[in-house]
Amino acid sequence: MGQFLSCFKAYDVRGKVPEDLNPEIAYAIGRAYGKTTQAKTVCLGHDIRLSGPALAEALTKGLNEEGVHVVHLGLIGTEMVYFATAFYGYDGGIMITASHNPPQDNGMKMVRHESRPISGDSGLGDIEKLTHEILQGGVAPGPGGGGLEHKDCYRDFISHLLKVVPTKGMKPFRVLASPGNGAAGVAMDQLAEHLPIQLTRMMFEPDGNFPNGVPNPILEESRAPIEAELRKGGYDLGVAWDGDYDRCFFLDEKGTFIEGYYVVGLLAAALLQENPGATVIYDPRLTWNTLEIVNEAGGKAVMCKSGHAFIKEKMRAENAIYGGEMSAHHYFRDHWYCDSGMIPMLSILMLMSRTGKSLGELVGDMMTKFPCSGEINSTVADVKATLAKVEAAYSGGVVDKTDGLSMEFPEWRFNLRGSNTEPVIRLNVEVRANPQLMAEKTEELLQMIRS
């Protein structure tokens, strides 16, 4: 991967505009996508980034040249491309977004029919190779003849969400919502019309200049204004999204940020209540809380390497009802096994309505029983050598290499894995009800990793 064009990554296309990605490259990608997939109809949309419309136009031109009919969905979120591709029965979909990357970046997430992912192992390499050949002038012009139509799919999308999570009995919670000037505000405005909640809007205007920084609520500085507002009181829940809102983040009534790990447990519990015995997919980074919840609810827990292509494939193979990653990607069978940033919010509002508990109360026990470090990144010279050094330093633990290195001991466990895209290693530590042990082990591991 990446031998030809720097914008092709492990799972998608991403890079600086115009150096790594520009209309010329987008046009070539459109042609390569059309030729490789043999799609007849493809939908596309873009997030709030300023380069989105020009890239969409060039992509359309390339697709049209290969005879592909393009359905332009306009300004939307990534999950709406997943929705539209599968719901309307298109042969494929392309979302123009760079998610939480810096403002000057853009990219593309591609799917084929039924919103099955196109990534490193499933056709992205072929598209990259052909894109390169087209840019070199080594491919004859396409047959042409593809058309273009514009479609507003918001109404159908909102109906779909309300079918996946029926909201009968939802309480009139006071919700502070922040898209961080990303695309989520447009969908949230239309969804809120059907909900009894009292919505307070924060950074709602879609703005590709990112006046409040790139929306990535996993970063403390990105969510600080939301936390400050929640601490003033008067709210039941805080919710925030990244730019293309395929990830959604929660803060409790006191303004405490809830790690994605505990949200996985909550959503698993909520779905297993409605679907006893169903299968849940989880990733190896943090596991104990999820395993306890799924087992207690009588479900089946299946581990899978993290990364959306792996999770979606495993969910299909297992017919899993839900898949959760601690990085705040939540996947649902009723959403064609794709990730959604809106379904988790509706599910948690319904869980709070059903149980009469606040979010803080719902996750409080989990956080006490299984404290975790959160993901800590370290830049290292050699990922493989670091993994080997750490493994050699500990004996007697149960070793699992599904994704990087996991080692489990009676009272604590950790996962250490390299990034797909940079010389970075990511550490997660969890313990059984012993925050002091967690702090000690986290420090011990970081010293070893960074020495």
pLDDT digits (tens, 9 = 90+) for 84-129: 999 999 999 999 999 999 999 999 999 999 999 999 888 999 999 9
Are 324 and 424 found together in one domain?
no
Examine the pLDDT at 3 and tell me if it is beyond 70. no
Which of the four pLDDT bands, split at 50, 70 and 90, describes residue 419? confident
* Cis peptide, bond prior to residue 102, ω within 30 of zero: no
Residue 120's pLDDT is 83
Are residues 148 and 190 located together in one domain of the fold?
A: no
Residue 5 forms part of a structural domain? no
Contacts of 329 (CB under 8 A, 6+ apart): 246, 247, 308, 311, 339
The C-alpha angle with vertex 390 and arms to 387 and 393, in degrees rounded to 5, equals: 150
Shared domain for 236 and 144, answered yes or no, is no
CATH, residue 96? 3.40.120.10
Q: What is the DSSP letter of 121?
A: I
Asked whether the predicted pLDDT for residue 421 surpasses 80, the reply is: no
Looking at the structure, do residues 180 and 250 belong to the same domain, yes or no?
yes
Quick check: is 357 in a domain?
yes
Domain that holds residue 179: 173-258
Q: How many domains does the chain have?
A: 4
CA separation for the pair 376, 442 (Å, rounded): 9
Same-domain status, 271 and 400: no
CATH code for position 411: 3.30.310.50
Q: Check whether residue 206 and residue 269 sit in a common domain.
A: no
Query: Please, are residues 160 and 187 in contact by the beta-carbon 8 Å criterion?
Result: no
Is there a single domain that holds both residue 95 and residue 136? Answer: yes
Which residue, chain included where needed, has tokens 């601490």? 231
Residue 420 pLDDT class (50, 70, 90 cuts): confident
Q: Are residues 303 and 215 part of one domain? A: no
* Digit-coded pLDDT (tens) for 257-307: 999 999 999 999 999 999 999 999 999 999 999 999 999 999 999 999 999
Burial of 149 (0-12, 13-18, 19+ CB in 10 A): exposed
Q: Is residue 79 part of a domain?
A: yes
Assess if residue 165 is contained within a domain. no
Which of 206, 240, 258 delimits the end of a domain? 258
Summarize the confidence of residues 421-434 as an average pLDDT.
Answer: 93
Query: 6 lies in a domain?
Result: no
Domain stops at, among 198, 227, 258: 258
Q: What is the pLDDT of residue 64?
A: 98
Buried b (16+ CB within 10 A) or exposed e, 375-386: beeeebeebeeb
Give φ, ψ of 238 to 5 degrees.
-120, 135
**Amino acid 232: pLDDT:** 98
Q: Are residues 358 and 382 in the same domain?
A: no
Residue numbers annotated as active site: 99
**Contacts of residue 337, Cβ cutoff 8 Å, sequence gap at least 6:** 115, 312, 315, 316, 320, 323, 331
pLDDT in tens, 51-81: 999 999 999 999 999 999 999 999 999 999 9
Residue type, 210: F
* Residue at 250: amino acid letter: F
If one compares 423 and 356, the residue with the highest pLDDT of the two is 356
Mean pLDDT of the 128-140 span? 97
- Do 299 and 229 lie in one domain? The reply is no
Question: Does residue 160 fall inside a structural domain?
Answer: no
pLDDT at 2 over 70: no
Compute the mean pLDDT over every residue in the chain, rounded to the nearest whole number: 96
Q: What is the pLDDT of residue 1?
A: 39
Identify whether residues 318 and 393 lie together within a single domain: no
In a domain, 210, yes or no: yes
**Same domain (yes/no): 300, 318:** yes
Which strands sit side by side in the sheet containing 41-46, from one edge to the other? 13-16, 105-112, 92-96, 41-46, 69-75, 148-150
Mean pLDDT of 197-207: 98
